[in-house]
Amino acid sequence: MLDALMIRTALPSDMDALATYLTAIVAERLPVLFVRDAPPSLEQVVTMIARHADDERSCLLLALDGDAVVGMLDFSGYARTQQRHVGTFGMSVARDARGRGIGTRLLRSLYDFAKEHGYRRLELEVFATNTAAIALYEREGFVHEGRRHGAVMVGEEAVDLVMMGKGI
């Protein structure tokens, strides 16, 4: 699968494939991701793609296996002048594609984008229970910088958010 994998910026023509991907991710109701009541509508997906295309300091990266979206990374920079060198992101990978290096490839594409656009630092928050993601981020040089205790409710359980960062 990795030989056919392509990482690139989302295009308007990706709207159907991205909507299908997001519908599957939302349906999983993973206890390590923020839950949505419903997947985004096709109109919302179109708006999301356009918003990133219109902002040169943000990107929506897709991992594509043929025409199917198997991963995505949503990146935005901070607006404040003194923080314009810092950006934050969220990432997900399709259930059947996890553990195959797609997250690593998405991150490495992000590094290229971030460097080209003058970023010096990347930040993220991850559920403390998402041990696979934390291990990936650690392998990629992100360090633990803080913890928001009980910041998320997963059912009746309060879960911490781990704050991680990396200079690039």
Taking the alpha carbons at both ends of the chain, their separation in whole angstroms is 29
pLDDT for residue 9 is more than 60:
yes
- Which residues are CB-neighbours of 2 under 8 A, at least 6 positions away? 100, 101, 102, 105
Domain boundaries, the chain: 5-119
Is 5-119 CATH 2.30.30.280? no
How many CB atoms are closer than 10 A to CB 146? 12
Model pLDDT for residues 18-64, shown as the tens digit of each residue: 999 999 999 888 776 677 888 899 999 999 999 999 999 999 999 99
Global pTM? Answer: 0.93
Distance CA 140, CA 101 (A): 12
